[in-house]
Homo-oligomer: A and B are copies of this chain.
Amino acid sequence: MSSRIPIMEIFGPTIQGEGNLIGSKTMFIRTGGCDYSCSWCDSSFTWNGEQKSQMLTIDEIYNELTRLGTNGVDWVTISGGNPALVGEPMSELIAKLHSEGFKVALETQGSIWQPWMIDINNLVLSPKPPSSGMNPDLIKLAEIIEKYTANINSDNIDNRPQRKLVLKVVIFDNEDFEYAKYLYSNFSDIPFYLQVGNTNIAECDENLNIVIERLEWLTQKLIEEESMSKASVLPQLHVLIWGNKRGV
């Protein structure tokens, strides 16, 4: 029997709207299922039962990417849900994408380590702040960071493709910001991104000013926070452009 992965949606070509690859061309593969249930999750359909995932083989996933048209796209981004729930089949998918010339980015909250993570070219760990209602295990997060970065340091030896790890924290309020400060103080050698939280934006035009006001608030907080000299603040570019529409 072929390896299968629970898939919620596959879309693109589009751009990455968040984090260190903001504005880059990418396809998206969104897996189903999550070990978290964040109160403000913008992809809650991946775990709340509203929509069923499809168990797809590696070939079926790749064929769907091809059907959508991957010419001129540099990255495939795997997101969720939490794609770290997927075991060995993910390793096969990553190998397939690499063999077809793609770089592979993956986004996860950093609650589960998988050995295939060392093959991810851009690993975004986004521990969830207090407003999510979750309580991330920071020992586990530190373990994942250690395992991935230990492997980066051996790049000169095994000649793997370029790899990068970043931390990204979504901020809704002052308490979230304090949490990000605490994380930053523990992982200050890792590129660190603060991201404006958003939820329930159906149409860009209606709520654009609210998103911008939140962005201004967070930017001002970061500017005034002397302890976070190397952190960056970023919007969700796709939300600014398209609102919270699916599939873009």
User: Would you give the 0/1 interface string for A18-32, flagging 1 where the beta carbon is closer than 8 Å to chain B?
Assistant: 000111110000000
* Stretch from A126-134, A147-155, A214-222 forming part of the interface with B: A214-222
Copies in the complex: 2
A208 is an interface residue with CB less than 8 A from chain B: yes
| Max chain B Cβ within 10 angstroms of own Cβ: one of A215, A222, A234, A241 | A241
Chain B residues with CB under 8 Å of A228's CB are 25, 72
Given A15-B219, A212-B204, A215-B241: A229 and B193 within 8 A (CB)?
no
Given A72-B225, A209-B205: A232 and B14 within 8 A (CB)?
no
Q: Is the interface of A mostly helix, strand, loop or mixed?
A: mixed
- Measured CA separation A57–B216 after assembly (Å): 34
Chain B residues with CB under 8 Å of A204's CB are 212
Query: Across the interface, do A231 and B25 meet the contact criterion of CB distance under 8 Å?
Result: yes
**Chain B, residue nearest A233 (CB):** B23
Q: How far does the Cβ of A157 sit from chain B's closest Cβ, in whole Å?
A: 15
* Between-chain CB contacts (< 8 Å), 12 pairs: A13-B223, A14-B223, A15-B222, A15-B223, A24-B230, A25-B231, A25-B232, A72-B226, A72-B228, A215-B237, A235-B240, A240-B240
